[in-house]
Amino acid sequence: MREHPGCVPLVKEHKEIIDNAYETLKSKYPNAVAGYSPNIDEEMGIYMDPEWPEENGQLVSMEWLKYWVDYALENCKTPVNYNS
């Protein structure tokens, strides 16, 4: 999004871009497992584990985005992406 906070109507082209990015990530890292490191730095509120592949976190984020964009386009009268 170009503005924060912001709201953007979702369209078919967004789905196509996200689907392509998802497939590219899966192709580049075929052994990636969607998930976050089991080790979290509670003070910083972030997952930190040098042994945990970064692509695992990227894949879980991409799956989350893909799921919700697909859901919105299929089920919502006015699908949008909103951040606050």
**Residue 71 located in a structural domain:** yes
What's the pLDDT score for residue 39?
A: 74
pLDDT along the chain (84 residues), means of 10: 82 97 96 82 67 85 96 97 88
Predicted TM-score (pTM) of the model is 0.78
**Residue 26 located in a structural domain:** yes
Give the residue numbers spanning the domain of 65. Answer: 12-75
What's the pLDDT score for residue 44?
A: 64
**Residue 7 located in a structural domain:** no
The SS3 assignment for 9 reads strand
**Residue 6 located in a structural domain:** no
Both tokens assigned to 37: 């490191």
> What's the total number of domains in the chain?
1
What's the pLDDT score for residue 47?
A: 62
Question: Of the candidates 53, 56, 79, 65, which has an alpha carbon nearest to the alpha carbon of residue 21?
Answer: 65
Q: Quote the CA–CA distance of 58 and 10 in Å, as a whole number.
A: 22
**Residue 82 located in a structural domain:** no
DSSP states along 58-72: HHHHHHHHHHHHHHH
Torsion sign across C-alpha atoms 25, 26, 30, 31: positive
**Residue 31 located in a structural domain:** yes
